[in-house]
Amino acid sequence: MTMADKPINFLLVDDLEENLLALEALLQREGLTCLKARSGEEALELLLAHEVALALLDVQMPGMDGFELAEFMRGSERARHIPIIFVTAGSADLQRRFRGYEAGAVDFIQKPIEPTALRSKANVFFDLHRQRLQIQAQRDELEAAAQALRRADRHKDSFLAVLAHELRNPVAALSGGLHLLNKDISPERSQDIRVRMDRMLTHLSHLVDDLLDVSRVSQGKISLKRERIELREILRSAIEASQHNLDAAGHRFVFEPPGQAIWLDADHTRLAQVVSNLLNNAAKYTPSGGVVTLSAQARDGVAEIKVTDTGIGIPPEMQSRIFEIFAQVEDHLAKAQGGLGIGLALVKQLVALHGGAISVESAGENMGSTFTVRIPAIADGDLA
């Protein structure tokens, strides 16, 4: 139920039960709740507990009369703006006794009550109240949307700062390297510098490629070059691309290929990129000498690819977030090696383009992680 369709309360105050019942019967309809009070004191109690769209006050009551009750209402922060209709038996003269006009709407109705007149007066107030609730709900929605935009904006700002920083380091290193190469240095030294510059350039190109890919995917500009392809071919390409990283980190790499051929309708390059990205992360976020396992199998018409590592793991509260763009586990930043938290967002998008899904499991800190990619396979019957 939205705020705008909540039942609207109205308050009837009269010392005579039969008047209360008659007024209730006159005004009651769907979407309205009637609150009844036999005295001013009872009415004030009800007003403390309920939000009220309209109060109908009998002026002549023993004890606190209708005007006194209205004065109390105007003096209270909560009840001050409630529109009041006084029900009077006396002459118009009496109306001057009430002084609280400046605060909220006030109207008078004479006894004997003319039903249509009262109903249409009351309806005006109910409609106003409903509109006010609607405006409030819209205002809250707008406020939430504005807040989300502000958050996204801050996110972008800090991302730009990180990006600039990450680009500056390799650029500075490259320009330093070039400067040295222009000097008179030994062939060994210059070879060493070239290797390092080459590595920097590769890192930089990957970063820029990932950034471009992400923006292309989010603009719907990446289209898959699908073909009928066997999963093992994709896995082999991925291993080839990541082998260097796995070796460099000193891990043992275990490959458990599927026992039978699994055919996919997939983009070879993109899916290999997905698996290679997961292997690179496994290598990156596992302390030297760990084990990284790549396995695959067919299950219920779905190709299931798993990358498991014995690394630093992912805290439970971060597991749903790491697929968001720019999301990184704070404590892992030292190990991110200049990563920007783009890789997994891209992986997730590429898997989704293949009609698949990715999930992560990790028992927590230093307990390793397992990433599972599921992609629909071509059923045997479709192969002929």
Beta strands at 8-13 and 32-37: parallel, antiparallel or unpaired: parallel
String of contacts with ligand ADP for each residue 303-332, x by CB under 6 A? ------x-xxxx-------x----xxx--x
Question: If binding is defined by CB under 6 A, does position 105 make contact with ligand ADP?
Answer: no
Question: If binding is defined by CB under 6 A, does position 343 make contact with ligand ADP?
Answer: yes
To ligand ADP, the closest distance from the beta carbon of 195 in angstroms equals 23
- Distance CA(380)–CA(29), nearest Å, equals 63
To ligand ADP, the closest distance from the beta carbon of 337 in angstroms equals 8
To ligand ADP, the closest distance from the beta carbon of 303 in angstroms equals 20
Question: If binding is defined by CB under 6 A, does position 344 make contact with ligand ADP?
Answer: yes
Cα-based distances in Å from 205 to 57, 167, 196, 280, 359: 77, 10, 14, 16, 28
Is the link from the previous residue into 112 a cis peptide, with omega within 30 of 0?
yes
To ligand ADP, the closest distance from the beta carbon of 170 in angstroms equals 14
Expressed in percent and rounded to 5, the helix, strand and coil fractions of the chain are 50, 20, 30
To ligand ADP, the closest distance from the beta carbon of 176 in angstroms equals 24
Bridge partners, residue 107, by sequence: 85
Q: Which is nearer to ligand ADP, 40 or 290 (CB)?
A: 290
Question: If binding is defined by CB under 6 A, does position 290 make contact with ligand ADP?
Answer: no
Out of 87, 340, 351, 375, the residue judged to bind ligand ADP by CB under 6 A = 340
Question: If binding is defined by CB under 6 A, does position 274 make contact with ligand ADP?
Answer: no
To ligand ADP, the closest distance from the beta carbon of 342 in angstroms equals 6
Q: Which is nearer to ligand ADP, 267 or 309 (CB)?
A: 309
Cβ atoms 44, 67 nearer than 8 A: no
Q: Which is nearer to ligand ADP, 66 or 339 (CB)?
A: 339
Question: If binding is defined by CB under 6 A, does position 285 make contact with ligand ADP?
Answer: yes
Question: If binding is defined by CB under 6 A, does position 341 make contact with ligand ADP?
Answer: yes
Question: If binding is defined by CB under 6 A, does position 339 make contact with ligand ADP?
Answer: yes
- H or E element: which one contains 94? none
Instruction: Name the closest residue to ligand ADP (Cβ).
Output: 339
| 360-370: b (≥16 Cβ within 10 Å) or e | bebeeeeebbb
Q: Which of 81, 74, 122, 124 is nearest to 99 (CA)?
A: 74
Residue 55 buriedness (CB in 10 A; 0-12 / 13-18 / 19+): buried
In which residue are the tokens 């909220």 written? 104
Stretch that binds ligand ADP, among 5-13, 62-70, 337-345, 350-358 (CB under 6 A): 337-345
Using CB under 6 A as the binding rule, the residues of this chain from 359 to 378 that contact ligand ADP are 369
Question: If binding is defined by CB under 6 A, does position 281 make contact with ligand ADP?
Answer: yes
- Distance CA(317)–CA(315), nearest Å, equals 6
To ligand ADP, the closest distance from the beta carbon of 11 in angstroms equals 57
- Distance CA(238)–CA(261), nearest Å, equals 17
- Distance CA(217)–CA(221), nearest Å, equals 6
Bridge partners, residue 191, by sequence: none
- H or E element: which one contains 293? strand 291-299
To ligand ADP, the closest distance from the beta carbon of 151 in angstroms equals 19
Contact set with ligand ADP (CB under 6 A) = 281-282, 285, 309, 311-314, 322, 327-329, 332, 336, 339-345, 369
